[in-house]
């Protein structure tokens, strides 16, 4: 049985990953070894009903090299400090990583198997050893619109995102809820809407809200900037859309994708408004059936008020693997311009699920 080392399993993505593995019975198919950067020697977790051995040192390349596969959700700094040394030591096991550090390396594949199983299988045949989870918005967009890319119908696309606090990290989620709590205190029976608004705006302006992590209030507001600045005016998050999507798909023709990435006060679901320049005037019914049939998780919703409000929101999708695509219609720009809206769980298909499934592929179970 293959030995799988887990690093960063206590963090948010790591916890979701372990929960998914436990609920799917995945631990029966491997020998898990748990690593830690800070609590070496302490008891390991109980997974799949089995107690694990004491935690090993995640910074010890020799200990990592005893595993067949390493799965890390520890973050980019850890990857940068450990991966190179581990490879230089001669370890030729598989490295599965949630962080972006190695994503664009030629030697790595970005994994999203419902979309790019062919790319993954070819890479395995070619001896690739590094398998990296994609950016969450990119993965969720591709899970939604795979059907259009598979048919070569996307000439170019804009992605306008509404990204949840979870994408920024666990502490940001906590901060958002604390901000909401502070603003909730503005309510008093009998206050008019304008009085409430003045109270809320005053609390946001006078430093009453915790902003250590976001830097500014997110509750009752939004932040139209995600990631570092690029020289071309994009943020790094915006740059990833085209560059990661094309790498995941293994496209022959680079499909331009660009847009604005915005942080909103959702907890763990990223939403995206997409406008697609189609390569032809494809009938809407064909578009909907191509989208709906592309994978087992995407769902096309009718473009009506009821379905949209009940099923196409972060509230409806949180904690679920389904990826609804709704508001699908041709735009008024012309018959070869499509618009739609999609929502996906940032911690499931956006982060943990592609890693879990890559592990299953490497274990020969998928
Ligand atoms: N960078 C993403 C975000 C999360 O900030 O929402 C992970 O891909």
Q: Residue 227: which pLDDT band, with cuts at 50, 70 and 90?
A: very high
User: Please, how many CA atoms are within 13 Å of residue 140, restricted to the half-sphere of its CB?
Assistant: 37
Q: What is the mean pLDDT of residues 333-351?
A: 98
Q: Residue 343: which pLDDT band, with cuts at 50, 70 and 90?
A: very high
Q: Is the pTM of this model over 0.95?
A: yes
Q: pLDDT, tens digit, for every residue of 278-293?
A: 999 999 999 999 999 9
For CA atoms 313, 318, 320, 321, give the dihedral sign: positive
- Read out DSSP for 218-232? -TTS-B---S-B-TT
Greatest distance between any 2 Cα atoms in the chain: 70
pLDDT above 90 for 66: yes
pLDDT above 90 for 310: yes
E runs forming strands in 52-153: 56-57, 69-72, 94-97, 108-111, 130-133
pLDDT of residue 191: 98
Mean of all residue pLDDT scores within the chain: 98
pLDDT of residue 83: 98
pLDDT above 90 for 101: yes
pLDDT above 90 for 80: yes
Quote the percentage of the chain above a pLDDT of 90: 99
How far is Cα 28 from Cα 82, in angstroms, rounded to an integer? 28
Identify which of 282, 288, 290 has the alpha carbon closest to the alpha carbon of residue 301: 288
CB under 8 A, 24+ apart: contacts of 49-58: 56/5, 58/7, 58/8, 58/82
Q: Residue 48: which pLDDT band, with cuts at 50, 70 and 90?
A: confident
pLDDT of residue 205: 97
Ligand 1 nearest-atom number relative to CA 137 = 8
CB-based contacts of 182, cutoff 8 Å, min separation 6: 203, 208, 209, 210, 219
Q: Residue 233: which pLDDT band, with cuts at 50, 70 and 90?
A: very high
Query: Which of 75, 97, 101, 135 to mutate for ligand 1's pocket (most ligand atoms within 8 Å of CB)?
Result: 135
User: Is the CB–ligand 1 distance for residue 237 below 6 Å?
Assistant: yes
Q: Residue 176: which pLDDT band, with cuts at 50, 70 and 90?
A: very high
Q: What is the mean pLDDT of residues 51-65?
A: 97
Q: Of 159, 186, 270, 340, which residue is the catalytic one?
A: 270
pLDDT above 90 for 12: yes
Q: Residue 114: which pLDDT band, with cuts at 50, 70 and 90?
A: very high
- Read out DSSP for 149-206? HHTT-EEEEEEEEEE-GGGT-HHHHHHHHHHHHHHHTT--TT--HHHHHHHHHHHHHT
Q: Residue 354: which pLDDT band, with cuts at 50, 70 and 90?
A: very high
pLDDT above 90 for 49: no
- Determine whether 270 is an active site residue: yes
pLDDT of residue 68: 98
User: Is the CB–ligand 1 distance for residue 136 below 6 Å?
Assistant: yes
User: Is the CB–ligand 1 distance for residue 163 below 6 Å?
Assistant: yes
Identify which of 94, 92, 156 has the alpha carbon closest to the alpha carbon of residue 120: 94
- Determine whether 136 is an active site residue: yes
Q: pLDDT, tens digit, for every residue of 259-281?
A: 999 999 999 999 999 999 999 99
Query: Which of 137, 169, 241 to mutate for ligand 1's pocket (most ligand atoms within 8 Å of CB)?
Result: 137
């Amino acid at each position: 049985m293959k030995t799988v080392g887990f690093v960063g399993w206590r963090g948010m993505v790591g916890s979701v990953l372990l929960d998914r593995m436990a609920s799917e019975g995945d631990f029966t198919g491997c020998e898990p070894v748990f690593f830690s950067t800070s609590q070496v020697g302490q008891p390991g977790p109980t997974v799949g009903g089995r107690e694990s051995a004491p935690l090993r040192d995640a910074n010890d390349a020799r200990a990592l090299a005893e595993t067949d596969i390493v799965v890390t959700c520890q973050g980019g700094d850890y990857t940068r400090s450990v991966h190179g040394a581990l490879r230089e030591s001669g370890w030729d096991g598989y490295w599965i990583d949630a962080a972006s550090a190695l994503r664009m390396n030629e030697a790595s594949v970005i994994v999203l198997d419902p979309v790019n199983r062919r790319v993954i299988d070819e890479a395995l045949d070619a001896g690739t050893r590094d398998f990296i989870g994609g950016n969450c918005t990119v993965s969720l967009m591709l899970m939604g619109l795979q059907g259009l890319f598979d048919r070569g119908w996307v000439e170019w696309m804009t992605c306008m995102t509404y990204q949840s606090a979870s994408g920024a990290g666990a502490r940001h989620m906590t901060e958002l809820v604390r901000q909401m709590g502070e603003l909730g205190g503005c309510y008093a029976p009998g206050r008019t809407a304008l009085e409430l608004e003045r109270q809320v705006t005053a609390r946001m302006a006078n430093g009453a809200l915790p902003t250590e992590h976001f830097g500014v209030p997110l509750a009752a507001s939004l932040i139209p900037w995600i990631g570092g600045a690029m020289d071309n005016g994009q943020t790094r998050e915006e740059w990833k859309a085209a560059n990661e999507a094309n790498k995941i798909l293994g496209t022959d023709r680079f499909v331009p994708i660009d847009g604005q990435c915005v942080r909103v006060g959702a907890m763990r679901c990223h939403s995206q408004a997409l406008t697609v320049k189609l390569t032809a005037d494809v009938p809407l019914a064909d578009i909907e059936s191509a989208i709906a049939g592309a994978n087992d998780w995407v769902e096309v919703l009718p473009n009506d008020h009821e379905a949209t409000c009940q099923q196409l929101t972060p509230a409806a999708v949180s904690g679920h693997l389904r990826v609804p695509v709704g508001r699908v219609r041709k735009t008024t720009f012309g018959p070869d311009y499509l618009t739609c809206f999609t929502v996906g769980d940032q911690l499931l298909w956006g982060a943990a699920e592609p890693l879990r499934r890559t592990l299953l592929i490497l274990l020969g179970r998928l």
